[in-house]
Structure 1
Amino acid sequence: MSAIDHIGAVAFRPQAAVVRLAGSAFVALGVLLSGFVISEPAPYELMMAGLVAIWFLLGLRISRAIAPLLALLLTFNVGGLFSLTVMADLADGPIYIAVSLFLALTSVFYAAIVEDDPRRLRLIFQAWLISALLTGTLGILGYFHAFAGSETFTLYDRAKGAFQDPNVFGPFLVAPALYLIHGLLTGTLKRAPLRIAGLLVLSLAVFLSFSRAAWALFLFSACALVLVMLLKERTAAFRLKILGLSLASVILLGAALLAALQSEKVSGLFSSRTQLVQDYDGGHLGRFDRHRIGFEMAMEHPLGIGPLVFGLTFAEDEHNVLLKSLTTYGWLGFVTYIGLISWTLAFGLRYLLRDRPWQPFLMIAWIVLVGHVGIGNVIDTDHWRHFYLLLGIMWGCRGLEHRHLRRSRLGN
């Protein structure tokens, strides 16, 4: 059995066992619903709003290890509140910041429940995997018009599953795909066929999203996972297994890609999307020109220009998370965002190869988070629900690590 199937046990208090079990089940349901955001407010928002409130009312604590996450996210959103003061017409600005605050609280919530019971990490990833398989399958069926009304799950001939945007749909699938890859590399052969089948579904769904950011994220994350595992596992036999399975996976996925490209529709869109610079990227007021103009504007507006104002001004959103933090959250939000991401990636790297029951989950979350930071240069991840889930997982693992070290010192 793999390490990912043996997350450390935390004993339930007998009088609270039923409550904790029910609470964990609702957490899993909330994560599962994160893959179904075809309209807003989505069921995810309704579920998580109630869940977060109930858990904290019942005494879910925020430890010292997690408190900085809450402080940084609140400071980030204070910047957003300041940006509202410069808007001539508030319009949907307050709603945007309210959503930002809500997502910040979900991140802190995930961190707290992970620290409270590390077994929930496996539950979260399993729920995420189920959600990804369901929404990914909808995207594939929609792309091939498998049933009446299936076009609901596509946009501009690109698979989007139960999301509003293919560029969010594709990246959402990457962490569950890594979870399957890790299981393939460390698990038993008995479960390999199911994991391979699941990986093929997710890979095809990512491909049919025709999101260049999702493609890059998937490729980077898969390669990084194999590299980290090669660094962690020192035995020659295990390294040979990783290399062999990785090679087999590349061949299998390559064959699946070639099969998909036999479709004239798929090959045509693939040829168009593989161009490094699209029409809307270059040229006057293209994506990169807007980035330049936006950063120049930000230097003149320390409080920002207000939520959604950039998109109304240039008919397109920022498509850059750093620029988004400047325009929507001001200099305060920008500095806070840089600090939060730098701190998160730094402690994740420090803990990456430590032998802990939660190390596989930390490893997957860290790799995918690094990838999201990278694609954030060409896409806006500000309100991506799974981005805040990744942050919560990382900081929850930080809390677990601090508690582990504290107990080790007391034991000595």
Structure 2
Amino acid sequence: MSAITYELPRAAINAKLIGLVASGAIALGVLLSGFVIREPAPYELYMAGLIAVWSLFGLRITRAITPLVVLLVVFNIGGMISMTQMPNLMNTPLYLAVSLFLAFTAIFFAAVTETDPKLYRVIFLSWVTSAVVTSLLGIAGYFGAVPGAEMFTKFDRAAGAFQDPNVFGPFLTLPGIYLLYRVLTGSSARMALDAMLLLIITGGIFLSFSRGAWGLFATSAILLTGFLFLQSNSGRFRLRLVVMCMAVVTLLTTALLIALQIPGVGELFTTRAQLVQDYDGARLGRFARYGIGFLLATEKPLGIGPLVFGQIYGEDTHNIWLKALMDYGWLGFASYLTLIVWTVADGFRILLRNRPWQPYLLSAYVVFLGHIALGTVIDTDHWRHFYLLLGLIWGAIALEARHQRTLALHTH
């Protein structure tokens, strides 16, 4: 018998190789987002190169993500106009360059996920990997598990490979919520692994002792469970959801009670768990500065310049809406508000539709909602993962628009 050989077309082989390289390149970028000990971080340098190369070889900006592009660019133009109000520019040009770069990362992730929805899985698994590693570093640092691990703590709180525990905790939330989604809806075969990884990440969130991160994770988890309950008409699935939620709450509560028995943990938890700290309610504390800042914004429509507020009052705005007004002017504030409202409205419209990318959209959306609430007590305009969340949601919005166009063509 003669042997029959089949040869794949060269174009198909090349396309497969390009797809693998592209997936690997994006996975590495997301992985690096969890390691920001010094700035510029490897993430910035790598992503700047990746976006430049991708732009040369076919990064497509479609009509569906044009609003994202326009609003982010206008937001940064507001910052440039605000900069003209400063007598001394200091490091402001670099600050605005970072703002613009982060805007480009959101556009990039929206564009690539729209082009290839399979990249959602790559991005999420890479983010989970990064979160588990940086959580373990933070946990090891907090307990002094290995020599030199104290570099992964700040202010006696776990910070992982981040400069600030208040950014470290929120960064872990999306991977934690995605793992929670898998525990609640996935097969029993992978449940043990997902639960173990979830425990590591929630351990990192807890030991960050960030009130914002605690609230962000709890709010996102409640929203995720609620949306899953609404999405399903199956009584059996809803019962499973209730049982699994009870199991997860029991597991996390048990882990919390055990952690609180460790010397030092209980005392810091009691201190950090207070809703209002001294620096919040003082005469010129965080809340007082809000009132001062919003009054100042009525007199300064062009803003006062990026980072100037902190130099005047000794502390930054710690409120993304006030920061938009002060650092980006009325123009920046209007574009940012429009972007947030547009993202929330369009994301909600498609949130519960049965699509291959729906689990990723749902996870990103509930965490994004939590970040909007968190933005009322902290500045999020330079959080790398916030722009990644934004890009993931807009990628799904663009995919849904393409899906609807395809349906329209088939019906005609």
> TM-score interval w.r.t. the shorter chain?
over 0.9
1:81 aligns with 80
- Asked if 1:40 is matched to 2:39, the reply is yes
SS at match of 1:264: coil
Give the superposition deviation at 1:20. Answer: 2.6
Q: Distance in 2 between the 1:83 and 1:296 partners?
A: 17
1:20 aligns with 19
1:331 aligns with 330
Which structure 2 residues correspond to residues 200-239 of structure 1 after superposition, within 5 A?
200-239=199-238
Q: Distance in 2 between the 1:271 and 1:379 partners?
A: 21
Q: Distance in 2 between the 1:293 and 1:177 partners?
A: 37
Q: Distance in 1 between the 2:91 and 2:300 partners?
A: 20
SS at match of 1:50: helix
Q: Distance in 1 between the 2:79 and 2:90 partners?
A: 14
2:269 aligns with 270
State TM-score, norm by structure 1: 0.96
1:170 aligns with 169
Q: Distance in 2 between the 1:327 and 1:135 partners?
A: 33
SS at match of 1:61: coil
Identity score, percent:
56
Give the superposition deviation at 1:312. Answer: 1.2
Structure 2 residue runs of 5 or longer lacking an equivalent are: 1-10
Deviations along 1:115-167, whole A, 9 cap, x unmatched? 00000001000000000001011111100011111111111111110001011
AA at the equivalent of 1:149: G
Q: Distance in 2 between the 1:170 and 1:13 partners?
A: 43
SS at match of 2:355: coil
Deviations along 1:80-125, whole A, 9 cap, x unmatched? 0001101010001111000000000000000000000000001000
State TM-score, norm by structure 2: 0.96
Could you say if the C-alpha distance between residues 124 and 249 of structure 1 is closer, same or farther in structure 2, counting changes exceeding 3 Å?
A: same
Larger CA Rg, structure 1 vs 2 = 2
AA at the equivalent of 2:38: S
1:256 aligns with 255
Deviations along 1:271-323, whole A, 9 cap, x unmatched? 00111110000021100011111111111111111111111111211100001
- Asked if 1:243 is matched to 2:226, the reply is no
1:378 aligns with 377
Give the superposition deviation at 1:15. Answer: 3.8
AA at the equivalent of 1:87: M
Deviations along 1:347-385, whole A, 9 cap, x unmatched? 111111111111111111110000000010001111000
Q: Distance in 1 between the 2:12 and 2:383 partners?
A: 35
Which structure 2 residues correspond to residues 272-311 of structure 1 after superposition, within 5 A?
272-311=271-310
2:146 aligns with 147
Which structure 2 residues correspond to residues 72-221 of structure 1 after superposition, within 5 A?
72-221=71-220
AA at the equivalent of 1:171: P
Q: Distance in 2 between the 1:283 and 1:142 partners?
A: 32
Q: Distance in 2 between the 1:98 and 1:284 partners?
A: 34
Runs of 4+ in structure 1 deviating by more than 4 angstroms, as ranges, are none
Deviations along 1:25-73, whole A, 9 cap, x unmatched? 1101000000000100000001100000111110111000011111110
1:313 aligns with 312
Deviations along 1:238-267, whole A, 9 cap, x unmatched? 111111010001011000000000013000
Structure 1 residue runs of 5 or longer lacking an equivalent are: 1-11
Give the superposition deviation at 1:14. Answer: 4.8
Tell me the C-alpha RMSD between the 2 structures: 0.9
Aligned residues: 401
